[in-house]
């Protein structure tokens, strides 16, 4: 592969690698939160702000170095570049976030994500630039570049919108709050009084963990949906829902949960 060929497409490969890093960081972070806390709270906020910071970082700190650096050097080897880019990513993140928010605690809080994003970027970029087939393909015209740049967005779209629609119970714990609320609003109406509670509990993993031994209650109000649920002896004994808490009586009636199980 000639350096001339690579020079024509390295910015495209670089931006593609950055979007891969952004998508993978958010997916891995959501999985980490779900494993630690049982659900990926506030991951939607991270998706938005990390995307904004990455665009700023790309424009200010990455475009010029990629243009100037000699890609034939050892620094771009897959065994070396990911570690360099991880450190550079952490430095870039510290400068941007530190300048905008002037909060050392905030910088430290999300530093692991900056290191992870930088590492994934470096690994992706160092592997992609040694692919002669990819470099030749991108050099044939703008159409291939557009398709390449859209792939990470498609992956994130599949993760955040397609998967919740197809297998909501499988991805429920890994979704941002807003998507999790939509899954709840779509799942609750599928059940009725008299149904066994376990299928509902399984459909929304972790959501009803406070209802122990098959007896308990829950009253929830979320965006455009509210419900009240009471369970006794592993059966749904009361379930009411609507677009808001004012569409039904959301009072918890303790006497419904009294008495021994048959």
Give the torsion through C-alpha atoms of 201, 203, 206, 208, to 10 deg. Answer: -30
Residue 153 tokens, joined: 């967005």
In which residue are the tokens 């050392």 written?
104
171-181 as b/e: b if 16+ CB within 10 A: bbbbbbbebbb
What distance in Å separates the CA atoms of residue 146 and residue 112, rounded to the nearest whole number? 31
Nearest alpha-carbon partner for 193 in 227, 237, 253: 237
User: Can you give the pTM of this predicted structure?
Assistant: 0.77
Residues 6+ apart with CB under 8 A from 154: none
pLDDT computed for residue 81 by the predictor = 96
Mean pLDDT, 10 residues at a time, the chain of 262 residues: 71 90 90 85 82 89 88 90 96 91 87 95 93 79 76 82 93 90 95 95 92 89 94 94 90 80 74
pLDDT computed for residue 3 by the predictor = 64
């Amino acid at each position: 592969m000639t350096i001339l060929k690579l020079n024509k497409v390295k910015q495209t490969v670089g931006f593609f690698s950055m979007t891969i890093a952004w998508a993978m960081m958010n997916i891995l972070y959501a999985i980490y939160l779900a494993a630690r806390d049982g659900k990926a709270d506030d991951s939607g906020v991270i998706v938005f702000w990390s995307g904004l910071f990455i665009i700023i970082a790309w424009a200010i700190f990455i475009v010029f170095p990629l243009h100037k650096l000699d890609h034939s050097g050892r620094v771009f080897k897959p065994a070396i570049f990911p570690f360099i880019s991880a450190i550079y990513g952490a430095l870039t993140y510290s400068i941007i976030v530190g300048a905008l928010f002037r909060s050392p605690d905030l910088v430290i809080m999300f530093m692991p994500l900056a290191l992870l994003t930088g590492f994934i970027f470096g690994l992706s970029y160092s592997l992609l630039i040694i692919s002669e087939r990819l470099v030749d393909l991108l050099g044939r015209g703008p159409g291939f570049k557009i398709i390449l740049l859209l792939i990470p967005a498609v992956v994130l779209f599949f993760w955040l919108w397609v998967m919740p629609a197809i297998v909501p119970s499988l991805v429920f714990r890994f979704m941002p709050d807003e998507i999790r609320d939509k899954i709840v609003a779509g799942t609750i109406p599928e059940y009725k009084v008299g149904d066994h509670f376990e299928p509902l509990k399984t459909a929304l993993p972790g959501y009803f963990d406070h209802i122990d031994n098959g007896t308990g209650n829950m009253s929830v109000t979320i965006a455009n949906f509210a419900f009240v649920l009471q369970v006794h002896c592993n059966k749904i004994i009361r379930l009411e829902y609507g677009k808001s808490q004012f569409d039904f009586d959301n009072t918890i009636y303790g006497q419904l949960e009294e008495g021994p199980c048959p």
